Amino acid sequence: MASTGDTVQNLPVEEAVARGGVTEIEKGARDSTDELRHYQSSDFASLRDEIHKEITSRDVLLRKLEESVTRLSEDIAPVKDYVMAEMEEEDDDASSSSSDTPEDGAPQDGDQETEEERNIRALNRCVDVMMSLTEIRENNEEKTKKVRGFYEKIYKASPLTSLMLKFLERNGGVKVIIDCDSKDISNLVRGLANLDGEKCAGTTLHKFADFFECKVYLGGEAGKYQVWEGLKWVDKYHDPEASLSQSLAQMVMYLIFKNRGFPYKCDDDQCEKLYEKIAQEALQKMTSGAYMDYLINDALSMKTPLGREVSLISVVPGMLVKHGSQGGMRTLQEQVPFLTYFFMQHVIPKMRSIIN
């Protein structure tokens, strides 16, 4: 410690502090800090604005989709009316000569029953065509009746699924091959490459839509089976009617859009981006732990975007066949509302326009 008589030499910083001033070093440091704060502030503001813009645009899209989903019940009505109108138009000639109609054209009490009969004739005509396109392994009367029941259930499930069968009825060329004695397709094909591009034995596939050969394969026996998932065996259930509707839906997508099974045309960038976003949202929801029906879960569990997106669109008819029109639509709205909206607003109009 310096004595009283010693001369103490203060450093420039100490002298400035003693006088209450600011040194050049300190002033430069403060200037640099201010510049850094200004830079960070302006940079953050720019980033914040960019994120806000992205979130806002995303929220606008989602809000519009949510608003549209709430109107799904209203959207279904025109489709149903369209299907009914088509049925009535096709049976116009037959109904005009029907014995149920009197010569003077006066209405009878049996009009409602006559309408039901027309609907049944339309169903039978469509199912007859689908049966003519179907090959049943080691066929017999019992198996024929069983497969016919598959098509009847799909047709009756919903106006959307009946419209899908009517599309195939009028646009022949698809061949359906079914093994009623097995849950898988191992007796129909030895091996195939799935939508992920992986080579699979027939024993691992319960359904398959071969776009290049325009063939649909199905294991027609319902029941439980096991798959190895997450280091353990998991029990699953094979519903042949739902599986058949999914494979037929994939074939319809291929025939309509001619884009490897994607539910949009090759040059439709807007629909492509929208559908990719819908698939990503559904995948994020599943990976976050939200419960998903196994049909949705299986589609989203595909490893590639091609596999997921081609499989996912077929979930809509699959759910309607599995749970019925009301139950299936309710589950779809709860778990994948945007996918449902896309199917209603984009796929259905395309089918209708081609049928027309």
CATH number at residue 256: 3.40.390
Residue 212 lies in a domain: yes
Convert the pLDDT of each residue in 29-44 to its tens digit.
455 445 444 544 455 4
Task: Please give the pLDDT value at position 115.
Answer: 84
Residue 294 lies in a domain: yes
pTM for this prediction: 0.70
Residue 312 lies in a domain: yes
Among 60-64, 143-147, 222-226, 304-308, which stretch is predicted with the lowest mean pLDDT? 60-64
Residue 6 lies in a domain: no
- Across the range 273-297, mean pLDDT stands at 95
The tally of domains found in the chain comes to: 1
The answer on pLDDT for 79 being more than 70 is: no
Residue 19 lies in a domain: no
Task: Please give the pLDDT value at position 46.
Answer: 57
- pLDDT bracket for residue 290 (50, 70, 90): very high
Mark out the alpha helices in the chain (DSSP H runs): 12-18, 24-69, 72-90, 92-96, 111-132, 141-157, 159-170, 240-257, 269-287, 294-300, 305-313, 315-323, 325-335, 337-342, 348-355
Residue 328 lies in a domain: yes
Residue 228 lies in a domain: yes
The answer on pLDDT for 98 being more than 50 is: no
